[in-house]
Chains A and B, each alone.
Chain A
């Protein structure tokens, strides 16, 4: 008997069918993985199971009883809890306050909160499930992995039987992922049923009992984990054979000539804390230099420094010998740096403007598209057309808005714009975040082509596999510093994982 089952569950957004007659069945005490590409409809499905979206048609059965969820509270009352990809925590509150949020314990006869009793209960549940947390710590001081534990405990405290996790490993170090997998297996032993949404196939293989693959809103198939492998799952996900990792092997060796040099860079955040402290590195010509690390260790700030969005407190940056420290983004672009920013819609594109306008964003000083302060609409459109063809950008209309594009196609506009300005160095930050597998392959190939033409790439990504397969050298950032430089071809994932967690490895550390 299934603990949770959907029958012909369908969700339509206007004409678009996000979930098309989904039949899913989860057995009690199993770990079920739901895999699919971005935009395949995984999140829609989970949001219906958790009551945040209401199905257009079809039904959900729990213990073979049909249920209707109008809000997450209904789902929670039926024993379903969800850990979202973006945590729903309140940073300024403590761990115990977050876990008990909405179910506070008050002192007898008084409307005041009994913090002592709350702390005791939370400590109890932490011990019961062997988590490593201190109830009185503030959430803003916790690591991402710990925040996730708080989210899981929040659900366990509410006695859920079915736990849904949305992309739980996206922001964790390899060690934290291992710990999460252990925790989840423990929970299964304790009688919980777990549903995990993910697109990381390695974890699927390690974690799950069965896998359901979704593509374009339809269930493609359900298989037992022990009867399948990563390659087969990838094929089911994408619908064709895919090269799982584009590798930089076999390309031209990089030269010894230094293209880009960063010396002892420092900066502070709004609270005065030093978030980048003494970062130095060199990028050679014809080289991809990767910076790995768990998110939140100063990579974002480093990129902001290097792309002119933030100013330094100390340190210098040179491009081919020229001092470019603290230049503004337009000056950096003129100096020959292409910028693929971390936040696609925040810094890379303007969603409420047309595709042609976005194709020249940041390059309006180019006389071909703008003269005497007047934009030349015709040549801008001409340029957009070229990009769309050359970079295979799928658009409904050439003059449409960027907001109508999928993540992958929107990212390709940035890629086209930055590469076509013929820079000497590309700073690529999270270039494939939220992008479908097909586009990832395309973007990786573009970066490598650029490298093989003798130019340089600075790649900053929290996607470890991306860094490892593309880079010639990899530096690992931890707490605002580069704590080690490694050769991606010889280092193992667990070794680099240790570095990412702050433990300096003896063997691979390069003397600084």
Chain B
């Protein structure tokens, strides 16, 4: 029973950062911009929040500066890919490589392998929801998470409303689907692409803060461990629709939790079990592609 309970709690816990990346990334996807910089942006959020909090002893400043830095990186990505029509893969890769390099450099200067907020207690970040925490089983799964985890799940609804019920959401979809139609009516399509990318950057900042500060109060380099790319996969599998994309993100959370749980009882083979989520995602992607491709009768040359 404990095993299941822990598994489900950890599923929620592990799904949160990917979920945030996915929900932020769907706007760029719908605006027809491939944002492969999600990974780098998330790592930037994790790194900057911890570095600033470490230097200033102020959590709030850490969070704020992480968001600002991520938005700036998002802006760089937008300027280079949207305004100057640079190749998104190259620009995105540059950000993905730049961020860990800078983090590595700073860690070397600090003569440390990680940034550790010794004065902060992660248990203080956890919020217990009244009433819900008293429900047996469900309470222990849903309650007792840090704030951004809750935000991540609330975002599913917020982003769905933003995408389907507001002008902004309609315009982003129009820009992505038929840029000509948007321009013929005077919609500034680049402007919507910028905002779509910046929403992604903002959500990545939150995901990064969640990953390093909220959950562990520790930053180690490369701690994002490919979650940004998993998020891209989830967005593609869900075709950018908030609901289905979120389901894929949560599926990955479950897989991660499973890996963690099995590791506890596995002993020396533990390290090998870390591959579980990636294998599962690979299999899911392959199956999704095969089912989509099976019906295609047009020949590929």
Residues of A bordering B, CB below 8 Å: 71-73, 76, 82, 84, 86, 88-93, 97, 101-102, 104, 106, 111-113, 267-272, 304, 308-313, 328
Q: How far is the CA of A106 from the CA of B181 in the complex (A)?
A: 21
Chain B: CB-nearest residue to A52 = B184
Q: When A92-B173, A93-B173 are in contact, do A309 and B167 touch as well, CB less than 8 Å?
A: no
Contact of A97 among B170, B183, B187 (CB under 8 A): B170
Minimum-distance CB pairs A-B, first 3: A73-B186, A88-B181, A102-B185
> Please, which residues of chain B bring their CB within 8 A of the CB of A106?
167
The residue among B161, B173, B184 with the most chain A CB atoms within 10 A of its own CB is B184
The residue among A88, A92, A313 with the most chain B CB atoms within 10 A of its own CB is A88
> Please, which residues of chain B bring their CB within 8 A of the CB of A304?
298
Contact A311 B166 (CB under 8 A): no
Contact of A90 among B161, B174, B295, B296 (CB under 8 A): B174
Contact B181 A92 (CB under 8 A): no
Q: How far is the CA of A445 from the CA of B130 in the complex (A)?
A: 85
Residues facing A in B196-236 (CB within 8 A) are none
Contact B186 A89 (CB under 8 A): no
Contact A112 B295 (CB under 8 A): no
Q: When A71-B186, A112-B166, A113-B165 are in contact, do A272 and B295 touch as well, CB less than 8 Å?
A: yes
* B238 smallest CB distance to A (angstroms): 15
B134 in the interface (beta carbon within 8 A): no
How many residue pairs bridge A and B at CB < 8 Å? 75
Contact A271 B165 (CB under 8 A): no
* B277 smallest CB distance to A (angstroms): 30
B111 in the interface (beta carbon within 8 A): no
Contact A111 B296 (CB under 8 A): no
Q: How far is the CA of A104 from the CA of B166 in the complex (A)?
A: 9
> Please, which residues of chain B bring their CB within 8 A of the CB of A71?
186
> Please, which residues of chain B bring their CB within 8 A of the CB of A92?
173, 177
Q: How far is the CA of A111 from the CA of B179 in the complex (A)?
A: 23
Contact B298 A89 (CB under 8 A): no
Contact A111 B170 (CB under 8 A): no
Chain A: CB-nearest residue to B177 = A90
Contact A90 B181 (CB under 8 A): yes
* B215 smallest CB distance to A (angstroms): 33
Q: When A88-B184, A90-B173, A106-B167 are in contact, do A310 and B178 touch as well, CB less than 8 Å?
A: no
Contact B186 A101 (CB under 8 A): no
Q: How far is the CA of A471 from the CA of B135 in the complex (A)?
A: 78
Q: How far is the CA of A101 from the CA of B177 in the complex (A)?
A: 13
Chain A: CB-nearest residue to B292 = A270
B85 in the interface (beta carbon within 8 A): no
Contact B295 A311 (CB under 8 A): no
Contact of B186 among A72, A91, A104, A310 (CB under 8 A): A72
Contact A267 B161 (CB under 8 A): no
Q: How far is the CA of A104 from the CA of B171 in the complex (A)?
A: 10
Q: How far is the CA of A268 from the CA of B292 in the complex (A)?
A: 13
Contact A76 B186 (CB under 8 A): yes
> Please, which residues of chain A bring their CB within 8 A of the CB of B178?
88-91
Q: How far is the CA of A93 from the CA of B167 in the complex (A)?
A: 13
* A275 smallest CB distance to B (angstroms): 9
Q: How far is the CA of A104 from the CA of B168 in the complex (A)?
A: 10
* A153 smallest CB distance to B (angstroms): 14
